[in-house]
Structure 1
Amino acid sequence: MKVLLVDAFPMVRAALTGLVEQHFAGAQVQGVDTTAAARAALAQGVPRLVLLDLRVDGGFELLQQIHREHLMLPVVVISGSDETEDALQAIGAGAMGYVPERSDLNMLVQALQLVLAGGTYVPQLKPRAEEAPTAASAAPALPDWAELPLTPRQKHVLHLLTQGLSNKLIARELGVSVDTVKDHVAAVLKALGVNSRTQAVVIATQKTR
């Protein structure tokens, strides 16, 4: 498995390379420190996965380009931010995973496993300012998403999306066809006013905090 790692810091590249090679048998990590070098590497051959630090100069534009030119190539963003808006921006540009640098190593490995399996990964992020809990509402609540305009079945589908399951695995879990799952997912996206399943996962994640 070929992995392209784009990060400006040599120590970070070394640490991430060692982590990937340790947990993914046969992984070959190519580390680069600029977007120009990343584009040159992509021109030589499309990897199985891209790890991208958006703080690299031109990193966001590179993410958008990968999404345009290599739609099926999963990109996991490694970010210094755990703000919801930053995650939504990265996901909207095509990222399939968003991992704040504060995350522990196990979380990063889990994120890569989910993305490589065709799922998406978004951790718990800081709630938006207008969604900050008050003292009266700070107690944890079950993820029933009562305030979301979804049917019980759509909420079940959304819950499975937050687990990183692909359409095929959701179909198996629900005992329905993949086409039926696609219809449910499309309905969830429409109801939430988002364009991708990953954006739906971000919204669901915030509603469970």
Structure 2
Amino acid sequence: MPVTVLLVDDEPLVRAGLRAVLEAQPDIEVVGEAADGAAVIPLVRRLRPDVVAMDVRMPLLDGIEATRALLRTVDDPPRILVVTTFENDEYVYEALRAGADGFLLKRARPAEIVHAVRLIAEGDSLLFPASVRQLAAEYGDEGGNRAARAAMERAQLTEREAEVLRLMARGLSNAEIAGRLVVGTETVKSHVSAVLAKLGARDRTQAVIAAYESGFVAPG
């Protein structure tokens, strides 16, 4: 089955460019488009895409609020890929904190766009880990840090789960973590699932954001 994608951007040329790149791939299908975040929820409910590629800045409802609304109101929500002009942008970090799974630069090359959609759909590793570290270092706030520290303490990760989380924060995939720890991939998947459950994180990105904001992993 192909990965299905909903495109949400107020610029028609951006949507057309993304559609052309993605639909050239046999394993990706663009199932719909929207010009504003306000249209996301009804389209997601009707089309059930695997991934929403969503502009972070839109005139009526931006990508941050659209992400929050989508995750709050839709059962089994799709993966959310924020599309942005600038990678070191507070809006991007707020979108990740709101629950987005990763981000994509509008100037990205076609191969990078395709890779980002596939990676987000699979959820196996962190997209642009160095940029996420930089965003966490620059825009993480003290209030969020206190809450994240408390959540990390409550999680009571085992030593191996903590090790897996640190490697996740570096952007390693399950296979790469397995190689580093000399264990099977299925064992790593079990550890990752346990980390997500204990932290109450929707996915790897949210777990890594929590790790940075709690001080468990230094973002610098």
Could you tell me the TM-score, scaled by structure 1's length? 0.67
Q: 1:158 aligns with which of 159, 166, 171?
A: 166
Say if 2:95 is the partner of 1:104: no
Query: C-alpha separation between the residues in 2 aligned to 1:205 and 1:106?
Result: 31
Match of 1:7 among 3, 6, 9: 9
Q: Secondary structure at the match of 2:93?
A: helix
Q: Matched residues, percent identical?
A: 22
Q: Which has the higher helix share?
A: 2
Q: Which residue of 1 aligns with 2:92?
A: 87
Question: Does structure 1 residue 64 correspond to structure 2 residue 73?
Answer: no
SS at the partner of 1:42? helix
Which residue of the partner structure matches residue 209 of structure 2?
199
The count of aligned residue pairs is 183
Unaligned residue ranges in structure 2 (runs of 5+)? 140-157
Deviation sequence 1:35-70 (CA, Å, 0-9, x none): 333333223232111010021131221111111224
TM-aligned CA distance change 1:155 to 1:102, over 3 Å: farther
Counterpart Cα distance in 1 of 2:16 and 2:212: 30
Unaligned segments of structure 1, at least 5 residues: 131-149
After TM superposition, give the deviation of residue 123 of structure 1 in Å.
4.9
Structure 1 segment 1-209 matched on structure 2, within 5 A: 1=2, 2-25=4-27, 27-56=29-58, 57-59=60-62, 60-68=64-72, 69-83=74-88, 85-119=90-124, 120-125=126-131, 126=134, 128=137, 154-155=162-163, 157-160=165-168, 162-163=170-171, 165=173, 174-175=183-184, 176=187, 178-183=189-194, 196-199=206-209, 206-207=219-220
**What CA deviation, in whole Å up to 9, does each residue of 1:59-114 have, x standing for no partner?**
22111111122444101000122126433311111101112334333322222111
Distance in 1, Cα, partners of 2:219 & 2:76: 27
Secondary structure of 1:51's counterpart equals: strand
- Give the alignment's Cα RMSD to 1 decimal: 3.8
Alignment partners' CA distance in 2, 1:5 and 1:25 = 16
Letter in 2 for 1:52: M
Asked if the contact 1:51/1:78 (under 8 Å) is kept, the reply is: yes
- Using structure 2 for the length normalisation, give the TM-score: 0.64
How far is 1:155 from its partner? Answer: 4.3
